Chain A
Amino acid sequence: MNYIIKIHFVILLSRQGKVRLTKWYSPYSQKERTKVIRELSGLILTRGPKLCNFVEWKGYKVVYRRYASLYFCMCIDADDNELEILEIIHHFVEILDRYFGSVCELDLIFNFHKAYYILDEILIAGEFQEPSKKTVARLIAAQDSLVETAQEQASSISNMIGQATK
């Protein structure tokens, strides 16, 4: 099925080829996903530092950018604007940075879901959504507080036992 979509997927890879985040906007089966990641890490991680940030892959364009030890990769159609995607990546990194306070790979490893939520505020259905960093920060903070209060109510151990022995 053909999907009208701008960004097909987002992948964060570490220098060693470990996957740190994946988000698929076009439907791929799990098998395809694994294959895509394998192919792309072979394609991208081997590229030297002073080369351009675009690789062609199966008729698509993958735009990537390295920040410290992490490669941020986004896949778009071949006739899309690569520089725009680079800016979206940068935007995403800045928001992560603001949220975690100078973000590093470990932050993403242990706050895997948070990174997801932030990405969800920026991209929806593969479309770039939120140009304002402030707004994203505000939205994420609001969600966090909502969840935290709910969590506090729910997660006390007595509560759990109470539920279980009901």
Chain B
Amino acid sequence: MAGGSSSSSSSFSTAPAPSLVDSLFQRSLDDLIKALRSQPAGAEPSLLSRAVAEIRREIRSPDPDTKAVALQKLTYLSSLHGLDASWAAFHALELLPSPSPLHKRLAYVAASLSFHPSTTDVLPLSTHQLRKDLSPSSPPPFSSLALHLLSLSASPDLALHLAPDLLPLLSPRSSPSSPLRPKAAAAALRTLSVCPDVAPLLFKPLVDCLSSPDLRVVSAAVGAFAELASSGDPTPYLPLAPEFYRVLAESGSNWILIKLLKIFTRLAPLEPRLAARLVDPLCDLLRRSSAQSLVFECVRTVFSGLPDHDRAVRLAVDKVREFLASADDPNLRYLGLRALSMLGPRHSWAVEESREAVIRSLADPDPNIRREALHLIMVMVFDSNVVEISVLLVNYAMKSDPIFANELLDAVLTTCRRNVYELIVDFDWYVSLLGEMARNPHCTRGEEIERQIVDIGLRVRDARPELVRVARGLLIDPALLGNPFLCRILSAAAWVSGEYVEFSRNPLELVEALLQPRTSLLPPLVRAVYIQAVFKVLAFCFSTYIDQLEISQLSSSIVESNTAAAASCIADGIAGMESTDGIATGDKPASLFSSIENKDPFTCESLTKLLILIETAVGPLSENDEVEVHGRARNLLGLIHMLREILTWKTEEQGFIKDNRIGEIVNLLQSMFSEELGPVSVNAQNRVPVPEGLVLEENLADLAWTLTEDDTAPSMSISFSLRSHQHGKTKDAAASSVRSASLLAEHRKRHGLYYLPTEKDETESNDYPRANDPLLPASQGDVPEDLVKLTKQSLIPRKVKHTKPRPVVIKLDEGDGVSTFPSTTVKESKDDLLSGAIHDALLGEGKPSSSQKRYSDKSSRGRVKDIADTGESVSQSKENLESGNREHRSSGSKSKHRGHGKERHRSPQKNEEKEEKNHRNSARSSHHHERHKHRPRGEALLNVAPRAPVIQHFLL
């Protein structure tokens, strides 16, 4: 029927015909939903795109019904199927003025969905309509819709324009129990937050809402203040404390109480007397309330607002223990843990009391609870218990599931690394713990462990023997080589063993481990590290061997006994040396070289075997595809060839000694590796001052003449003719490179400033001894002196305890503490803007906001009184203005500003200087947090007064 009549009518009317057909055959939302539900899986995208095409056509219809339905469908698709609706913002706008409540409602919902405060360009067009709907003459449901839209999509401009229209809705005169007033309060909050400039206008009505008889209004206002106080600097709300306190005493609604407690959580730390007043009501609530949400809020208020009031803390801790013990409610267990981690180190006794429950939570079925328990435990780590806790966690990681195991390892690694290992006293223990972590089958934190192993090697001299021992354990285990997560750790282990090979108990065994067949499983870069380590070990072996021979030669020339005696003598000597190095000689690993171990570390025979082993293992690698592996293998082979060429010493050791070429080669190699590597600050380069008169842009080609023959030598020595097997040449190269190395060292000494600074002011914490600093003798004997020297030099903030056996940890402050501020800085500045504006509104209303005088004593008093009037606690405030202010010790930042105004009257001569100081302070502090550490000096303290009176009175 309908279809027939429509087609006939459409044939009559010409122009709008398509839209009429659209209107009549338009699918309703229900149709669309049904179609979506009945379609087969996978057809959804095509159906959606067809629907959107339909909507795009229908939405242009001049008929409001058609448009409304189209908008409704779009709203549905956009909010549930994630389709973009921003293109329809204008169409939603078109429908806003519709007189029909249905259309209006749809339009508002669509608008609130498609409008985005910063990207919707038609937003300003809605200003007029919103104003109209907000006006008291329009029906309340319309105003309600407008409030919603305003609160969701307010841009700063819109907020500024419409703020005055909120006033009638906020005022108590509008109607006794209008449902709009609480909504207007919420909208006012949003308006304030996007546009702090409207604070003078909206703040007072919002404060008035607190004394409304209607609980919903109070609730909305308290909610608004709770958000304001907890998102920025709470200081401006301190004068309202009496109001809040009154509501706390009068209101029985849990909803309101929770919000109030949030406010007090922020205010209590600012005002000790307020905190004292809160103890009783809080304890009362903690004891009586049956609503867990309220109890939890009380606990939080006590923990973060009143940590000094033992009675309240005690009660709250008991509640938390109840939470932790509730077996059937995971929420309470979770929140209990969270609450405890709020308490901080001062109250570690509270955690200690619930220790068992906390540790047990590590095994909770809920991963979130486990994580929270872990977090709590890590907060409670001190240098006294770090060993115990870390061992506990690392052992537990063995047993737990892979994800959590890694979280545990992460926690231990991050905590121990903090501030350059400040918690760690016993590095031997920590290093072996790192080794244990690597053996956890779930471990995927290879990179971090790698970093720490190398880092400790560089920074902590005393930990090196243990590091080498741990590294050996990792390297000889063939099982570890197959695990891709561990290769980074192995790389670090290989590097450590190569770099600090002098601490190795059995270098030959080490070479064997580094060249075992399964190393082919490693990625090329790690293999390259392995080969380089072999290179270093080889060089070390030969140099030790030659030292041995030299000693033996000496001794034999003195004693003139047979060689056997000399050999045993050397063996003793070596063993003695090793034991002074603190290296344990114990278990004998099953190894090719085990037979020779300890008897005589390096004999002709063992070295020959070593060379053969290396040659066999590395030989094939010289054809490797990977450049890193290839290059290093060639280096190593080159060295071996060179050594072989001179191996006349195979049989007669005396003859070898005479042929000193090998000694030179070995010395050269040793000198290459003997320079100790140190950590380098990330800012090292920046710290190098540009010398006066140095033109950095100038072309260096002109300077070619400055290069003397000697200066070019180093580059030659790098290639150092490993491939050339002519003895004479090698010797030459060796000699020249030794010379050039010393030249280089001299050059460094002369131009010390191009490298890390050596001598700086002692107070500068980045004072790091250069890697080859002469202050650090290579011998291990005088460590205590080193400790004293170094700590004095570079670890300034720390108090040195000479009795403490903690080894030296080299620390570069700038590079080590990485701060991540930028995002928070933006937030803070914004918040400060708002709380500043509110502060103005509260204390200096009516004055032009840019004027300094708005903070003058008089106006702030007037303002304060005004606000206090709404409560009961008013009458004596004036008397109290002067008294008792002196002891008021607020540390708020705002107080300073007010200090200005007053100071001007008192000590004008000092004013200037002071002002300047304040300016500097505020400039600096604006980058930091809202609560500043610096306190005004004595005089400024007096001037903090203007805010105090209300509190003062209220607390007396």
Contacts and interface: CB of A to CB of B under 8 A. Distances in A.
Task: Pick from A50, A53, A129, A143 the residue with the most CB of B within 10 Å.
Answer: A129
Nearest to A161: B9
Contact of B16 (A54, A120, A164): A164
Given A52-B333, A110-B33, A120-B148, A164 B63 contact: yes
A156 to B, nearest CB: 11
Interface string B58-69: 000001010000
A157 B227 contact: no
Given A112-B80, A127-B224, A127-B227, A147 B105 contact: yes
Nearest to B182: A129
Interface string A31-66: 001100100000000001011111110000000000
B186 A129 contact: yes
Given A113-B72, A131-B255, A165 B9 contact: yes
A86 B80 CA distance: 23
B414 interface: no
B231 interface: yes
B245 to A, nearest CB: 20
B368 A55 contact: yes
Nearest to B368: A52
A20 B80 contact: yes
Interface string A111-142: 01100110010001101111110010001001
B954 interface: no
Given A2-B826, A129-B186, A48 B148 contact: no
B96 to A, nearest CB: 16
Given A50-B365, A127-B189, A4 B101 contact: no
B187 A19 contact: no
A4 to B, nearest CB: 4
Interface string B216-246: 1001100110011011100000000000000
A51 B101 contact: no
B16 A83 contact: no
Contacts of B831: 2
| Secondary structure call for the B interface | helix
B88 to A, nearest CB: 12
Contact of A81 (B216, B293, B834): B293
Task: Pick from A18, A27, A135 the residue with the most CB of B within 10 Å.
Answer: A27
B534 interface: no
B227 A6 contact: yes
A150 interface: yes
B351 interface: no
Interface stretch (B113-121, B474-482, B926-934): B113-121
Nearest to A34: B82
A25 interface: yes
Contacts of A1: 117-118, 194, 830
Interface in B909-930: none
B253 A131 contact: yes
Contacts of B12: 165
Given A1-B117, A2-B830, A83-B331, A124 B9 contact: no
A154 B65 contact: yes
Contacts of B20: 164
Contacts of B24: 160
A131 to B, nearest CB: 5
B365 A81 contact: no
Given A25-B152, A54-B331, A30 B368 contact: no
A26 to B, nearest CB: 9
Contacts of A4: 189-190, 192-193, 227-228, 231-232, 834
Nearest to B292: A83
Nearest to A63: B331
Give the interface size bracket for A toward B.
Answer: 35 or more
Nearest to A125: B151
B80 A19 contact: yes
Interface in B68-106: 72, 75-76, 78-86, 100-102, 105-106
B335 interface: yes
B947 interface: no
Contacts of B6: 161
Task: Pick from A19, A55, A113 the residue with the most CB of B within 10 Å.
Answer: A113
Contacts of A79: 230
B258 A81 contact: yes
B720 to A, nearest CB: 55
Interface in B1-49: 2, 5-6, 9, 12-13, 16, 20, 23-24, 29-30, 33, 37
Contacts of B86: 29-30
Nearest to B117: A27
Contacts of B830: 1-2
A84 B260 CA distance: 13
A120 B231 CA distance: 24
Contact of A52 (B147, B182, B369): B369
Contacts of B65: 154-155, 160
A68 B429 CA distance: 53
Contact of B366 (A51, A83, A135): A51
Nearest to A6: B227
Given A30-B84, A30-B85, A81-B296, A22 B334 contact: no
A109 B37 CA distance: 10
B33 A109 contact: yes
Nearest to B83: A30
B894 interface: no
A52 B366 contact: yes
B331 A124 contact: no
B366 A113 contact: no
Given A81-B258, A147-B101, A147-B105, A163 B63 contact: yes
Task: Pick from B33, B85, B144 the residue with the most CB of A within 10 Å.
Answer: B144
Given A19-B81, A124-B151, A164-B20, A113 B220 contact: no
B117 A127 contact: no
A150 B101 contact: yes
Contact of A124 (B113, B148, B255, B297): B148
Contacts of B368: 51-52, 54-56
A93 interface: no
B293 A86 contact: yes
A155 B118 CA distance: 37
B223 A146 contact: no
Contacts of B101: 143, 146-147, 150
B827 interface: yes
Contacts of B113: 24
Interface string B165-202: 00000000000000100110011011011100000000
B293 A84 contact: yes
A129 B63 contact: no
Interface string B287-299: 0000011001100
A150 B335 contact: no
A131 B215 CA distance: 9
A37 B79 CA distance: 11
Nearest to A146: B101
A53 B216 CA distance: 28
A127 B223 CA distance: 7
A34 B223 CA distance: 30
A151 B69 CA distance: 12
Given A117-B105, A157-B2, A84 B334 contact: no
Contacts of B224: 127
A2 B366 contact: no
B831 to A, nearest CB: 7
A75 B927 CA distance: 29
6 contacts: A30-B82, A51-B367, A52-B334, A83-B293, A128-B255, A160-B23
Interface of B: 2, 5-6, 9, 12-13, 16, 20, 23-24, 29-30, 33, 37, 63, 65, 72, 75-76, 78-86, 100-102, 105-106, 109, 113, 116-119, 139, 141, 144, 147-148, 151-153, 179, 182-183, 186-187, 189-190, 192-194, 215-216, 219-220, 223-224, 227-228, 230-232, 253, 255, 258, 262, 292-293, 296-297, 300, 330-331, 333-335, 365-369, 371, 826-827, 830-831, 834
Which 8 residue pairs spanning A and B have beta carbons closest together? A83-B293, A125-B151, A52-B330, A4-B193, A51-B366, A34-B82, A52-B334, A127-B186
